[in-house]
Amino acid sequence: MFNRSVWISGGILLCGVALTTLTATALVRSHEAVVQSQRERAASGYAELLRNHLQNRETIARTVAATFYPPESFQPGALAPLRNRLLVLLPHINSIVWIPRISPGDIPAFLAAARIAYPAAGLMGPGRAPAPPEALKSDFYAVLDIEPSTPANLSSLGLVISSLPGPGAALQKAAARSDIVATPPLELVQLPGVLSIVAYVPLRKAGEEKGPLVGYLGFGYRLDRLIGSVLNDVIGPDEGLRVRDMEAAHSGDLYRTGRINQTGDDIRVPISFAGRNWELTYSGRGPTVSRSPLPWLAYMSGGAFVSLLLATAFFAVTRSSERLQAEKTARERAMRELAMSEARATTVLRHAPVAILIAEAPTGRIVYGNDSVEKICGYDFSDFQSVQDYGKQQAFHPDGRPYHASEWPLARAITQGEIVEAEEIGITRSDGSRAFISVNAAPIRDEQGNIISAVVAFVDITERRRRDVEKTEEEEKRQLVMRELTHRIKNLFAVVQAMVRQIARNSDSVRAFEDGFTGRLQALSFAHDLLVGQNWQGAPIEDVIRAQLRAFLDGAFSRVSLQGPPLWVNPAAAQHLGLAMFELATNAAKYGALSTQEGTVSVEWTDPADGFRIVTTHPFGAAVNIVAARSSAPRLSVARMASRAPMARRRAVSSTDRTSA
């Protein structure tokens, strides 16, 4: 038999071991979740860094293509003006090639131009073998110019790109998309053994968005430089990265660095470049701790090790989290430094929404202007050689003051380094018409911070300003309608309020009040229907009377005789007269001529010089003067309703004024 202290000690030991085991397991699982979350953020960070770099390369290639004007004939050296600009914008590029469209009849002229730069140039197909004859029977594309013009690069002149399987397919895809498209990974003629890609941008004649192609610009990149220049300096010692082309027949590595575990927990992120689908695989080392509590139960079976194991587990998790946080901070710092180095190369693209002008510093000479500049302003500014020439463009401030040459945003960016955002300027086009533009401008600096050029971008906001004016006018109209509606509603409430008070004074029960109020509200509704049909300008008196008698005659209007001059009653009079006629018709239906099937009623009105007068006559009773009647409370209310507003005025009532009663 065990004594009580043994049982208590055993129970405490078992509880301590169980609690320690569960706590350690929870800590390890929490640590695994933290490590996995940080691995996913690291993979996303590397992917976003590479994606921004590749998108920047695409945008620069499109910009270079937009500034290149294909020569009308086969001429060597067409790419020479782009050489210096490419070295600044695309430091990792291996080559840029001009690939014109060639018809079979143009082959002699093409070869003559190519052999000026490279005497041994000839039409080559796959493997530098002579181009197959079937590839030359129709229009084809071959290399005519290449920069830099090194001997290795010049040896590719005459290469028929459209006859090569991978590059030929890329040309067709680029033409179909009208955008940049890259080849699968391949070995360039001038770089055997080095894995590279070429991105092709289709070109058309200047000013034509559609139509036949005149050729392509090709941008060749060594993959180890294109990708490695971004990732080599930021990858951690315990991390591995791999980039693959998922569309290639044999999806080999485009780039590989660091440790690649090739385990099931690698993180894969899709990336696209120039129409190709790539994939970035991240492999980072993390702690491997079993999720099962059984090893921990066996390991911590002794009660003496419970506290030590808890402290050890907590210490290990804390140190691991600190190490991961330090690695994250180092990566973020490296990403910020890389982003700063990229900012100078992409400034011109950030500030180019539509129309773009680029000027060199310090003279201010315009070196580039796209097609939208001429569309908006009427000319391209290519003859502007200095900042002083900017004054030739007539422009004015919003208050009408003219712009001087030094006030132009492009001049301020060059001379003062000022960044201008959304400045609205009025201009006079070449045809004499006026327009408004919204302008952004910024300086472009070198590594030392010196201004080397400036870019200005602007859009036509003439239509937007016109819409703003129209919107203001519409708002004023809406406010006018709301004020008029409020006024009419107040008038209607006043009429209804007076009507309720009158009925309440003359009603001896709730049912009598309900019947009286419902009937009079319907009479007021009939009057409003007439006024709405006449655009609230009033109504013919005969229509007002017919509208009120309609409910009592059941369609038999032959029982009523209406006689009087054609008069037009204003809106207030139409409402009060309608209520008065309802009162008379109600009395006639209860006690007068309309209480029988044979009874008739005569309504006559006159327009004497001393005021308006209306009379109703029952064949078996005396005429009732609704203006003068004073004998009882109902007649008193009718007289008051009929005399509250100026009643009528003479007007010729046409058929279009009539409404159906």
Q: Per the domain annotation, does 110 fall within a domain?
A: yes
Give the pair of three-digit tokens for residue 402. Answer: 């003219």
Strands 539-540 and 451-460: unpaired
- Report which residue type is found at 480: L
Q: Per the domain annotation, does 390 fall within a domain?
A: yes
Instruction: Output the pLDDT for position 190.
Output: 66
Residues ≥6 apart with Cβ < 8 Å to 523: 548, 578, 579, 581, 582
Domain match, 593 and 523 both: yes
Instruction: Output the pLDDT for position 442.
Output: 92
Q: Per the domain annotation, does 99 fall within a domain?
A: yes
CATH of the domain at 413: 3.30.450.20
CATH of the domain at 199: 3.30.450.350
State whether residue 527 is helix, strand or coil.
helix
Instruction: Output the pLDDT for position 215.
Output: 92
The CA-based dihedral angle spanning residues 186, 189, 192, 197, taken in that order and rounded to the nearest 10 degrees:
-30
Domain match, 512 and 456 both: no
Instruction: Output the pLDDT for position 503.
Output: 76
Q: Which of 255, 287, 319 finishes a domain? A: 287
Strands (E) across 372-479 are located at 395-396, 420-428, 434-445, 451-460
For residues 613 and 639, what is the distance between their CA atoms, to the nearest angstrom? Answer: 11
Q: Which of 265, 287, 309 finishes a domain? A: 287
Q: Per the domain annotation, does 318 fall within a domain?
A: no
* Structural domain count, the chain: 3
pLDDT means per 10 residues in the chain (661 residues)? Answer: 53 63 63 73 87 89 84 81 69 84 91 88 86 85 88 87 89 90 82 84 78 88 86 81 82 75 75 90 61 48 54 64 82 79 53 76 87 81 83 83 87 90 86 87 90 90 84 84 74 72 76 76 80 83 83 75 85 83 82 78 74 64 43 42 49 42 33
**pLDDT tens by residue, 418-432:** 999 888 888 888 888
Domain match, 278 and 404 both: no
Q: Per the domain annotation, does 630 fall within a domain?
A: yes
**First and final C-alpha spacing in the chain:** 112
CATH of the domain at 632: 3.30.565
Residues ≥6 apart with Cβ < 8 Å to 538: 531, 568, 569, 570, 571, 573, 574
Instruction: Output the pLDDT for position 182.
Output: 92
Domain match, 453 and 567 both: no
Strands 560-563 and 601-606: parallel
**pLDDT tens by residue, 99-127:** 999 999 999 999 988 898 889 888 988 88
Domain match, 438 and 582 both: no
The boundaries of the domain holding residue 250 are 38-287
Q: Per the domain annotation, does 555 fall within a domain?
A: yes
Instruction: Name residue 284's beta-bridge partners.
Output: 239
Domain match, 404 and 553 both: no
Q: Per the domain annotation, does 314 fall within a domain?
A: no
pTM of the entire structure? 0.43
Instruction: Output the pLDDT for position 633.
Output: 37
Instruction: Output the pLDDT for position 216.
Output: 94
For residues 254 and 239, what is the distance between their CA atoms, to the nearest angstrom? Answer: 17
Q: Per the domain annotation, does 340 fall within a domain?
A: no
